[in-house]
Chains A and B, each alone.
Chain A
Amino acid sequence: MAQNGRIRVAVDAMGGDYAPEEVVKGAVLAAEKGDMEIFLVGPINILEKELAKYKLINVSSIHIVEASEFIRENESPVDVIRRKPNCSVAVAARMIKSGEADALFSAGSSGAAAISAIQFMGMLDGVYRPAIVGSLGTFAPNTVMVDLGANVDCKPHQFLAFAIAGSVYAKKFLNITDPKIALLSTGSEESKGSEAVREAYSLLRNSGLNFIGNIEGGDILSGKANVIVCDGFVGNVLLKFYESIGGYAQIWTEQKLKRYPPLRGLVRLLFKGLFPATKISRGAEKNGGGILWGVDGVVKIAHGASRAPQIANAIESAKESVKAGVVESMKSELAKFNQGGKL
């Protein structure tokens, strides 16, 4: 935290489909509230030009930090480490490590943000790779899924770290005292699922967490579990499928009611309200992205297509996550498992 008590957020100003324009605009929107300090990280000449477009109310709330390089869309995220260690997201990550900032925000490559966090901020004890946790929102308000895409291939011990992250999320943001944790698999029996899932079952059963066993796809929205653990490949496919359901339901319903124009209008009106509500990303849109759990600091990532309002929300939410002490909660939860040698 800055000496004036304000939370400091390092913003990867060059990350995102509409960077730097929308990122700078979003940062200005967030800075106008005046209760945090924002560090725009990127080439100074570009960022000064962008920032000059705005009449800043709180001039002291926004600063520019030089990073001469940035990761382009076609570049491998791993390049952050060896080829471009001074790219904007890496410089922003190092600011957290050095204590110059309290949180990092990026709408650029999630992989590059994750790798920067791993390499330059470090992982919490017992965690191998960061994970993305997300609430299922409308249909299952008391259920979160993890991982939603940060880890395509997972080792068994990662599922245990995912469960811990999901559990902290459920306690912190859903106010669930003892979250029920389930492993997503192809059957409820312990013998079902991939090799990694079967091994993870045994780790979770002996973890001391409130593990209720495997659940199948059909139970995801049932509310049986508060934390559903899966690898990032499955989680990301499910997330995007889930997000698409509302839109297709509207198209299907409208087609069915083609011959009844007044009803079609009514359906359109209903879906206008319902459609966003059927998206898992509803919360993400409102809060502007998700946290990378397991890294030693708050890292907020957002969709590459985010515009200024979502970016402002995400920066705001990064600040709130620092205030809520999510990293400290994760650390203390992990400590219990590390002491028992379970991670």
Chain B
Amino acid sequence: MTVEEQVREIVARITRVDKSIITRQSTFKEIKADSLDVVQALVAVEETFGIEIPDEEAQKFQNFGDFVSYVENRVAQKEKV
């Protein structure tokens, strides 16, 4: 499963929306994720991939695609090390 698919599953599970409606362009508002959903998703993603997502970075995410890209980069960096 790709990073994107895993992140999508996590977000879908937490927000309880069908994962098929989550696209890279979807904003958190569009998938009806509130602040708690977002924080829970961040924590779940951090635990799944063993990475840390600082709040300053998380605040920059405009949509699901931004979130996924950040996680993909961090995972790639981690694998290099």
CB within 8 Å of A: which residues of B?
Answer: 16, 32, 34-36, 39-40, 42-43, 55
A81-B37 Cα distance, complex, nearest whole Å: 11
Chain B neighbourhood of A118, CB < 8 A: 36, 40
- Of the candidates B16, B32, B34, B40, the one whose C-beta lies within 8 Å of that of A81 is B40
Which residues in window 153-168 of A have CB below 8 A to B? 153, 155, 157
Chain A neighbourhood of B40, CB < 8 A: 81, 118-119
Chain B neighbourhood of A76, CB < 8 A: 35
A329-B62 Cα distance, complex, nearest whole Å: 42
Is A82 in contact with B42, judged by CB distance below 8 angstroms? yes
A111 to chain B: closest residue by CB: B36
Chain A neighbourhood of B32, CB < 8 A: 155
Is B39 in contact with A78, judged by CB distance below 8 angstroms? yes
Chain B neighbourhood of A78, CB < 8 A: 35-36, 39
B53: min CB distance to chain A, Å = 9
The digit string for A291-306, where 1 denotes a CB below 8 A from any CB of B, is: 0000000000000000
A155-B18 Cα distance, complex, nearest whole Å: 13
Instruction: Give the number of residue pairs across the A-B interface with Cβ within 8 Å.
Output: 21
Is A115 in contact with B16, judged by CB distance below 8 angstroms? no
Given A82-B55, A119-B43, 15 new contacts (CB under 8 A)? A76-B35, A78-B35, A78-B36, A81-B40, A81-B43, A82-B39, A82-B42, A82-B43, A115-B36, A118-B36, A118-B40, A119-B40, A128-B16, A155-B32, A157-B16
B69: min CB distance to chain A, Å = 21
A153-B37 Cα distance, complex, nearest whole Å: 13
**By CB atoms of chain A within 10 A, which of B34, B39, B42, B43 has the most?**
B39
The digit string for A51-86, where 1 denotes a CB below 8 A from any CB of B, is: 000000000000000000000000010100110000
A171: min CB distance to chain B, Å = 26
A118-B42 Cα distance, complex, nearest whole Å: 15
Give 8 closest A-B pairs by Cβ, nearest first: A81-B39, A78-B39, A78-B35, A128-B16, A78-B36, A81-B43, A82-B39, A115-B36
A245-B71 Cα distance, complex, nearest whole Å: 53
